[in-house]
Every structure is written in C-alpha cells, then in structure tokens.
Amino acid sequence: MENIIEIKQLKKTFISEKKQKVDALNNINLEIKEQEFVCLIGPSGSGKSTLLRLMAGLINPSEGRIDVMGKELKEPIKEAGMVFQEYSLMPWRNIIDNVAFGLELRRISKKKRYEVVENILKRFGLEGFNDSFPYELSGGMKQRAAIARAIANSPKILYMDEPFGALDAHTRFKMQKDLINFWLEDKRTIVFVTHSVEEAVFLGTRIIVMSSRPGEIIGDFKIDLPYPRNRWNEKFGKYFKELMGLMDGEVNKRTKKDTN
C-alpha cells in the first residue's frame, strides 16, 4: 500500500494569550499507509488534537510539511472527513438533513442524497430516525449521526478526535465494534485520537504514542491481532501493559515538571 499521509519535520508553536510561545509539537515524522487504522495516544496536552487538525488542514504547521495523497496540504480537502468529540450536528436540521449536509453543499439532488444517506443511516443503526432532531437523540445516537455525516461524503481518510470520549462504557463498546465492522467492510484510512490505551489496542492496526509537551512521537507499534478483537486475549493484555507503561512514564514526567 502507498503512503496516503506523509509528515516531515513538523513543528507547531502557538502563541498563548499571554503572548508566550507554546511548543505543542516538535520533530514529527510520520508516514501513514492507505487503509491503516492508526490510533494516536498520549497524555492530555501532548498535541494529539493539534496533530489531527494539522493533518486535516484546519491549521498550518509552523515548520515542516504534510503531504496528503501526494500533494502538499494547504487547506482541508474533500477526500477527508472529520468527527469530533462534541456532537457537531446542526440543531435546526433533522437527522437525514444533517447527515446529507455535505452532499447538499455539493449540489447533489435531494432524491439522490436521501438515497445515499438512508443506506448509511441503516448501516449505523439510525433507521427510523430520519425526521428526528438532534435533541431527541441519545449521546450515542448523535455521535452515530456525526460519523454517518462524515462518511456520507465518502472520504478516503477519516479523522476522529476522541469520538467516543463522552459516551458511557456500554455505548462506547458498541460503537467501537460498529466502527471496526464498517472499516473491515469498507477499508478507509482512519486516524483516531484517544487517551484510552485499551480503546487503541481494541481498534488500531497501529498505535502512535505521543510524549507530553512538546509532543513528540515516542512509540510506533504494529498491533498484530485479528479482528474482531477480544479484550481477554493474552496478547491483547501484553500490548496493553507495554503501552500503559510507556504512557504512565510520560504522565509522571509531566507531573514532576508541573510541580517543580
């Protein structure tokens, strides 16, 4: 498989409100192949969301470059979709029109876009909710709709920033399974940010570990486990322990830095 994303010598510095420089990311080099399911983990503040926003072209690097599908990224591209933790649905639109929004922007006829979207709603367990409004849906259902909306544009790349972070454990497990099934049926490149090691080992073909600020890549693991994954599997436990060890080290380092 070819590289779909290539990041070279990337650095991102923000200027805080107090006019101080904040080095969020440093020395990031990363190549992601087509159809990989990459999970990005790291302590809070390690620059995971920043890296995802950079890959999506929502913000620009301070140094270095990002190439997506062989071209230097300058702005968001239509081949990539994004799902955030907050349900980013428009409260005044019903579910079908929320999910069909991207197709509407592309001036696809109502008949055609409803056809496409009804299929996707079915696939994501939202059958029968076409006419419901976001406030009538549970958190899990709203997040299903947000994922369905990103997928309706048939993106080659799906960027997801802690999409299940606000859901209860039971709903989260169900959503993880559904996401894996979708990806197995219809392989895309997924870059999935989470602070949960367990979620990352359950989902990813590969896990990238970020250090505390400034965020650098301190681990790159291939997860050699078949799908659907079983959390009680011995090898699952081994990956989990190894990654937890690495993450714990990072969190402790930061706590020390902060108290000094």
Binding range to Mg ion, per CB under 5 A, among 23-31, 45-53, 116-124, 173-181: 45-53
Q: Is 196 in the site for Mg ion (CB under 5 A)?
A: no
Binding-site partner at residue 14 among Mg ion, ligand ADP, none, CB < 5 to 8 Å by type:
ligand ADP
Show the binding pattern over residues 153-192: x = contacts Mg ion (CB under 5 A), - = does not: ----------------------------------------
Q: Is 260 in the site for ligand ADP (CB under 6 A)?
A: no
Q: Is 49 in the site for ligand ADP (CB under 6 A)?
A: yes
Contact pick of 46, 98, 194, 212 for ligand ADP (by CB under 6 A): 46
Cβ proximity of 107 and 72 under 8 Å: no
Closest distance to ligand ADP from the beta carbon of 76 (Å): 17
Contact pick of 9, 29, 44, 60 for ligand ADP (by CB under 6 A): 44
Between residues 49 and 94, which has the closer beta carbon with respect to Mg ion?
49
Contact pick of 49, 62, 88, 154 for Mg ion (by CB under 5 A): 49
Q: Which residues of this protein are in contact with ligand ADP, per CB under 6 A?
A: 14, 16, 22, 24, 42, 44-50, 213
